[in-house]
Amino acid sequence: MNTATATNTIAAITAEPLNTRPGDTIILTATVLDDAGLPVSGVTVTWVEQRTQVKTEATTDSSGQATQQVTSDTPAVIVYAAFIDDVSTAALTEACFYDANVPPVYVPNGMDGELDKYDIAQQVQVVIDAFSAIRLRDKVVFWWDNIHRYSTEIHSLTDDFPIVIDITDTFPPPVWQMEPTSCFISTMIKKVTEGHPFRGVSPLPVAG
């Protein structure tokens, strides 16, 4: 059985599915490889939920993969770190649980309402309409593929909507030239005294 050494690294970390409804389960997977790029079994991977700092451990299998199941009863974007022996081997990912009551962003000039490579080639826009869950000074965040994001703070429930985002103007070419597997918005409460800072999350349909 192999053990974690300085030569082992977390080569990839994924979430499947990328987003789902509260009450469902998202599986996070960390893949550990050695210097030769081969999977390493028997390595202890520590998962840390970044808000609560709760830690759990999992051991890599013959494919070098260690998993973590994540659930949430409420809409949330939960950030997890996975590491082997120190911060130099750490990687981050997110589990997104969206609110079915928050209307999704949409593609007004898309052929089928889904965001795909054809829409991107035509300098697509995405639109976020006002919704009942929003409050003044909330921050609306548009996420592109769980990594890149655009955010704006709401000062007027009438003047600040709809929010129109030009993808090719907002994100650099290396980002929008690649078709995303998931896009979604979240509303972040500006001042948080208790609980999770996200009021609701909604996905954008993306063509597979």
- 87 in Cβ contact with 146 (< 8 Å): no
Report the candidate in 131, 140, 133, 47 with the shortest Cα–Cα distance to residue 95.
47
Neighbours of 207 (CB within 10 A): 16
Average predicted confidence (pLDDT) for the chain:
76
Least confident of 23-32, 50-59, 127-136: 127-136
pLDDT, residue 156, reads 92
Most confident of the following: 18-27, 86-95, 176-185, 186-195: 18-27
- pLDDT tier, 129 (very low <50, low <70, confident <90, very high otherwise): confident
d(CA 154, CA 160): 6
Question: pTM (2 decimals)?
Answer: 0.58
Residue 1, C-beta contacts closer than 8 angstroms, at least 6 positions apart: 41, 42
Least confident of 88-92, 102-106, 203-207: 203-207
- pLDDT tier, 30 (very low <50, low <70, confident <90, very high otherwise): very high
Residue 134, C-beta contacts closer than 8 angstroms, at least 6 positions apart: 140, 154, 157, 187, 199
